[in-house]
Chains A and B, each alone.
Chain A
């Protein structure tokens, strides 16, 4: 059972803000989704290797050789805010 409190927590983590009625609606919808996916719980998985990827691939590796980087001036030109080739953000410590 997904509670409204959990929905609030998820919204907070995703940096999303919702109205009161939306919260209520999402709580109900989340519960329906979890119930639907819950059908999977009935499948017997004893002894089955966990899958973290659906496609069997061999790890593609990159050799440790340097390549070109971006020109910092060009990057700063399109950055929301920049000073002396640093990105500028609101202060994150007091």
Chain B
């Protein structure tokens, strides 16, 4: 029997505020342990939380970008459980009245999957619906080893306790690990465009849990779902989901029943493991947080946030394809990260040849950056430097072949193409008489080959081009060389 995977994702995004959700402690990552704590986030008796306005604004911004409906009065709730990373014994979250409900992301997919979505093949999209977006506070960080005398102990750092999060919950609309990856990448790129979250999965500022189940193909009923946690990269999210799908199909095929449980992904053996310690069913005893009153968001505020939304990857990609005539694939890669898109747009603002700029960024710049493991933000090549070199190519002062060599040096040194060309004496020869002179020399040196060519061995044309290029150290303008050579050989 064939099985269809059914996947829903719960994504926690850490908001890029200066301070925590309910107190004025800083949220800086990597600070010394317990240096960013105060009586409020430690849950000391007598303290009261006061809501960070920017947290709400960032949450509204995200919900609007995903087409969610903002609630005019959402309510914070206490989620009660005992764990050392939670100083108050409860997490302030939202429960039955979240900040936003509904919304969607249109992901790119190769799988044609009606009824939602448009088209098939390249550029086809599928709509993944959202259940809700709500606000909550993060818990502290537990460390289990690496501290002297740590046998039998765990250690708690509360710097992260109270850091603002939003949780973005999808409907179970995803149908493959690749779609889950595609959804997560788009989601990350949107929160980065919105500048509300830095999207760093390794540092945990973007975290993803997956609800995975399988059902016989064609069946409408959902299978029993398993929650998979502990993935800290796109790759591990896809691998964990794939593992879980395979595990469940095998179990069903062997006549076993899937148990509803939480499993942890372990990247080392590439397996998911049942969380043994969570045997008791959770009872969070949610109730409205009495220390905070409902979060009132009026229409004026929503309108103001809406007006401040930047162009999002979807719209940008469409514009790149339609107005700049880039290929769909190129446009997708360019918009996949805000910093790459920014680099591209700055480059064409200086020298407006989009196709050329896109080619150089995608094939040369990103390749070099990738080899070095650098982000485009740390590139020594600036949009200014790239634009300058593209202008030289466009003006015919540099052949594409020479440019590749020059670009390597621009990349390594951050020097301008103009200065490198001057230093190397590499300027392309566009002077026709100079090229003609070299052609004459080459033809004079190979009278036999000239004769063969004239007798019909036209393949020799490439040989002559090669010889001229050799003699000019590759600096002859190829178009001019071709024209001149043809004229000379046919005379």
**Contact surface of A with B, Cβ cutoff 8 Å:** 9, 13, 15, 52-53, 55, 57-70, 72, 75-76, 83-94
Contacts and interface: CB of A to CB of B under 8 A. Distances in A.
B34 A85 contact: yes
Contacts of B276: 94
B32 A65 contact: no
A64 B52 CA distance: 6
Contact of B153 (A15, A63, A72, A90): A90
Contacts of A87: 34, 84, 155-156, 158
Nearest to A93: B144
Interface string B302-314: 0000000000000
Residue from the set A72, A85, A94 with the largest chain B CB neighbour count within 10 Å: A72
A64 B53 contact: yes
27 contacts: A9-B283, A13-B283, A52-B97, A52-B288, A53-B294, A59-B296, A63-B54, A64-B17, A64-B53, A64-B54, A65-B24, A67-B19, A69-B36, A70-B38, A70-B39, A72-B32, A75-B34, A76-B34, A83-B147, A83-B149, A85-B32, A86-B34, A86-B155, A88-B153, A91-B154, A92-B84, A92-B154
A58 to B, nearest CB: 6
A57 B25 contact: no
A92 B142 contact: yes
Nearest to B142: A92
Q: What does DSSP make chain A's interface, helix, strand, loop or mixed? A: loop
A72 B17 contact: no
Contacts of B25: 66-67, 69
A61 B38 contact: no
Contacts of B158: 87
A91 B153 contact: yes
Contact of B51 (A60, A66, A85, A94): A60
A79 B42 CA distance: 11
Nearest to A66: B26
A72 B35 contact: yes
A13 B26 CA distance: 33
B438 to A, nearest CB: 67
Contacts of A65: 18-19, 24
Contacts of A94: 276-277
B157 interface: yes
A35 to B, nearest CB: 21
A93 B275 CA distance: 10
B191 interface: no
B143 A86 contact: yes
Contacts of A58: 296
Residue from the set A9, A58, A86, A90 with the largest chain B CB neighbour count within 10 Å: A86
B145 to A, nearest CB: 10
Contacts of A64: 17-19, 52-55
A92 B83 CA distance: 8
Interface string B25-43: 1100000111111110010
Given A66-B25, A90-B154, A92-B84, 20 more contacts: A15-B82, A53-B288, A53-B293, A64-B53, A67-B38, A69-B36, A69-B38, A70-B39, A72-B33, A72-B37, A75-B42, A83-B147, A83-B148, A85-B32, A85-B34, A86-B156, A88-B154, A89-B155, A90-B153, A92-B154
Contacts of B34: 72, 75-76, 85-87
B75 interface: yes
A63 B18 CA distance: 10
Nearest to B53: A61
Contacts of A68: 38
A13 B34 CA distance: 28
B188 to A, nearest CB: 23
A89 B24 contact: no
Nearest to A59: B296
A57 to B, nearest CB: 5
A89 B157 CA distance: 11
Contacts of B201: none
Contacts of B19: 62, 64-67
Contacts of A90: 152-154
B402 interface: no
Residue from the set B51, B56, B147, B155 with the largest chain A CB neighbour count within 10 Å: B155
B151 to A, nearest CB: 8
A70 B37 contact: yes
B423 interface: no
Nearest to A76: B34
